[in-house]
Amino acid sequence: MKSKDKDQEKHQEELEKTSEEIDSVDEHRDILSRVIREGEEIFKINNRAITLSAIIAGLEIGFSYFLICSLYYLLSGTIAENTIFKLFSLVYPIGFILVVLGKSALFTEQTSVLTIPVLNRQRTIWELLRVWGLVILGNLVGGILFTLFISLLAPHLNLFTHETMLKIGSHVIHYDAWVLFLSAIVAGWLMGLLNWLINSVKSSLTRIFLIFMITGVIGFGGFHHSIVGNIEVFGAFLHSSTITLLDYLTFLSLALVGNAIGGAVVVGLFKYRIFESNSMK
């Protein structure tokens, strides 16, 4: 009897283990399908609509910059500057929450999700580059418009000064090129990961938490995000006699390429291969 009971227990454990493995495969397949579906929906948007959406994202992400500058201006001289830069992580996520939940087209948030249909042979690399180009252009234009607007308004409302904008932008670009590039890869990696995490949950509150957590890490670490960085460095360029147009364009190039590698390769390619392998079991 004891031997029979043990056999039944062993059989039950095997059934439960098999059930868990099936659930895991189904979950991986479901997440991958959602990511592919989201990427396909973006590819189907016409050029004008996606460009306008990207411009809106560039404007909305500017609120992260606005809060960073305001926080620096408020705390400058009262606590250590390095501490202020770490506290940016508390306000840095706000613009991202507006963009991601508002479904605006942000380059780094969509880098990995647009790569998946290409890896799945549903879209070509040229279609990918077209969408990337439109989104990047829109994000940069929106960011520049926001910088010009807030540069005019903020000093009059005593929110921050042009000197604050110069300080923030100078802090962003004072690193060596290789540091900027690797830092941008990390930021792109985290933003690509954010998209996968958001596709694994349905609750709005959970999504807000994930956005806050991931982008908060980017803000705390000072990792270089091309679209926020575009606003930060362009703001400094406007009010500096030492930061040149070449400095601005060099930063932008390094940040965009680094973000693309972090999102498309580290997250898009690797996650796709892992999830694809697990889905085929």
| CA quadruple 251, 216, 200, 132: dihedral, nearest 10 | -20
Within-domain flag for 130: yes
Any residues with CB less than 8 A from the CB of 188 and at least 6 apart, and which? Answer: 108, 111, 258, 259, 260, 261, 262, 263, 264, 266, 267
Position 36 pLDDT exceeds 90: no
d(CA 140, CA 51): 11
Q: What CATH number has the domain bearing residue 215?
A: 1.20.1080.10
Percent of the chain with pLDDT over 70: 84
What's the pLDDT tens digit per position in 38-92? Answer: 778 888 889 999 999 999 999 999 999 999 999 999 999 899 999 999 999 999 9
C-alpha to C-alpha distance for 215 and 192, rounded to whole angstroms: 11
Does residue 138 sit within a domain? yes
Q: pLDDT at residue 26 above 60? A: no
Residue 89: the pLDDT is 96
Domain that holds residue 59: 28-279
* Residue 16, in any domain of the structure: no
| Global confidence as pTM | 0.85
Asked whether residue 179 is domain-assigned, the answer is: yes
The residues that bridge with 79 in the sheet, in sequence order, are: 76
Residue 6 counted as domain residue: no
Within a domain: residue 74?
yes
Q: Is residue 9 part of a domain?
A: no
Phi-psi label, residue 252: left if phi above 0, alpha if psi -120 to 50, beta otherwise: alpha
Residue 114 to residue 126: CA distance in whole angstroms: 12
Domain assignment present for residue 197? The answer is yes
Helical H segments across 88-238, by residue range: 93-101, 107-119, 125-153, 162-173, 177-198, 204-221, 226-238
Count of structural domains within the chain? 1
Residues contacting residue 250 through CB under 8 Å, at least 6 positions apart: 177
